[in-house]
Amino acid sequence: MKLFALGKSTSKVEVQDISKFGIWLFVKGTEYLLPYSEYPWFKEAKISQIYNVQLVHRDHLYWPDLDIDLEIESLKNPAQYPLVYK
């Protein structure tokens, strides 16, 4: 039996880890941490809801099960995009 190397991922966004601190995303070659302290919407979400993320229009992340939208630019430069949660 021969083993073959797996091909490259076809997804441009991947949830790499869900920890007690937050979510690790790999988006278009860059890794991001979304801490629950700054992204509280994910803290009580189901794992399946977090993993169901889509990259829309090359720079927009969307979690349809949670109705959450985030721009990739806001992950790169969070200080320029203050989040307001009430």
* Residues 29-73 pLDDT 10s: 999 999 999 899 999 999 999 999 999 988 899 999 999 999 999
Choose the weakest-confidence range: 3-12, 19-28, 38-47. Answer: 3-12
Is 6 a member of any domain?
Answer: no
pLDDT of residue 81: 78
When computed from its CA atoms, the radius of gyration of the chain, rounded to whole angstroms, is 14
pLDDT of residue 7: 47
Is 27 a member of any domain?
Answer: yes
Closest listed residue to residue 58, CA positions, set 70, 44, 40, 72: 72
Task: Domain of residue 26: give its range.
Answer: 13-80
Annotate 10-78 with DSSP letters as a single string: --SEEEEEE-SSEEEEEETTEEEEEETTT-GGGTT--HHHHH--EEETTTEEEETTTTEEEEHHHHH-G
pLDDT of residue 9: 47
Does the predicted TM-score (pTM) go above 0.75? yes
Is 5 a member of any domain?
Answer: no
Amino acid at site 56:
V
Is 75 a member of any domain?
Answer: yes
Domain count, the chain: 1
Is 67 a member of any domain?
Answer: yes
Indicate which CATH number applies to the domain containing 25.
Answer: 3.30.2020
